[in-house]
Amino acid sequence: MKEDLTEQVAYLRGLVEGRDLTTGENTKVLWKQMVQILDLAAGEVRRLGKEQEQLKEYIEAIDEDLGHLEDHYYPAENLEEEEAELQISSTGAGDTSDTRTTAPGVEETPH
C-alpha cells in the first residue's frame, strides 16, 4: 500500500507537470499544492510503517524474554500441578467443610 500511494502521487505529479490540466495560474498552483500535500502524506505513511515494524519486533523480543522468564520461574510441572488444583477447586470436588477465614496453621483466638 505504501508503494502504491507513492506511485500514485508520482503519477499525479507527472500529469500536473506534463499536461496543461488547468486554464488559469491559480488552478495550477492548487494542483501543485495538492501534489505536495499527498507527497507528504505518502512519506508519513512510509515512516509510520517503519515505526510500526520496529515496534512489532520490539514486542516480539519482549514476549520471547517473558517466555524465558516464565520457563525459569514457573517450570512446566509446577504449572500442571497448579492447573490440576484449580480444576479441582473450581468443580467443587474436595473438602468444603473447612470454612476458616484465617490462614492455615494460625490459631484463632476465642472472642
pLDDT at 105 over 60: no
Would you say residue 106 has pLDDT above 70?
Answer: no
Each domain of the chain, given as residue ranges in start order, spans 2-89
Cell numbers representing residue 44 in the block: 508519513
Dist. CA 91–CA 88, nearest whole Å: 5
* pLDDT greater than 60 at residue 99: no
Tell me what the pLDDT averaged over the chain comes to: 76
Chain-centroid distance of CA 67 in Å reads: 18
Q: Measuring CA to CA, how many Å separate 37 from each of 24, 32, 43, 76?
A: 20, 9, 10, 56
Which pLDDT belongs to residue 62? 95
- Name the pTM for this structure: 0.48
